[in-house]
Amino acid sequence: MSRRRPIIAIDGPVGAGKSVAARALARALGFSYLNTGAMYRAVAIAAREAGVSPEDADVEARLAPVLAAIKIKFDGESIFLNRRDVTAIVSEPEVGELASRFSAIASVRARMRELQRAAGADGGVVMEGRDIGTAIFPDAEFKFFLVADVKTRARRRFEELKKKGASIAEHEVFEQLIERDRRDSGRELAPLKRADDATEIDSTKLSIDAVVAAMKAKINARINAAKDLKRA
């Protein structure tokens, strides 16, 4: 694959700080940013509106027209599903749950892989999700796997939801997060896991600025080493 600019893959579980770090890193590098979790959430909304449930016996057949017609567009912090602004719905906790369940289905993953590979084909992108470094761009130039202890992740998620006005108890957020980790890591297709060549960053005790600084340091070190090699 020939790309003019690199791809930076950031994977990890819920609440590890992927979105904020990925967005900040993209801004710092002048790269575009793609939140693939939001794409799975958009699929969940489209499927729900078409009356499809991930537990339907004929789920693949029922999803086929939904996936064939799906159009997902990002504009700054807004997301459009089939030309409709779904930004507010996308972050609802039930949509996250549903997205996790739909994301285990083969045709959903295949369609997302196709759209995500097209979006990253020219490089110059920070792509965030669960399987970017393992399945979508296994040849990404830079790979990070962001983790944090489960209590910290649940607290962050809870604060985020509270800010958005969601009425949910912290223990519920904690239980949902454990369940989502289990499902996303345990599924058969492209499960959440660290790529062998990814750099793991534990954000439990780090600010977002520190996480981004660690990523930039890693990227610059590799770029400088390559320059030295060229000069030698």
The residues binding ligand DC (CB under 6 A) are 14, 36-38, 40-41, 96, 99-100, 103, 129-131, 180, 184
- Which one, 89 or 99, has the nearer CB to ligand DC? 99
- First vs last Cα of the chain: how many Å apart? 26
Q: How far apart are CA 155 and CA 171, in angstroms?
A: 9
Tell the smallest beta-carbon distance from residue 108 to ligand DC (Å).
Answer: 9
Tell the smallest beta-carbon distance from residue 223 to ligand DC (Å).
Answer: 26
Tell the smallest beta-carbon distance from residue 27 to ligand DC (Å).
Answer: 19
Residue 125 sits at φ, ψ, to 5 deg, of -140, 145
Are 187 and 54 within 8 A, CB to CB? Answer: no
Vertex 23: Cα angle to 33 and 179 (nearest 5) = 95
- Which one, 37 or 123, has the nearer CB to ligand DC? 37
* Cα 217 to the center of its chain, rounded Å: 22
Tell the smallest beta-carbon distance from residue 98 to ligand DC (Å).
Answer: 9
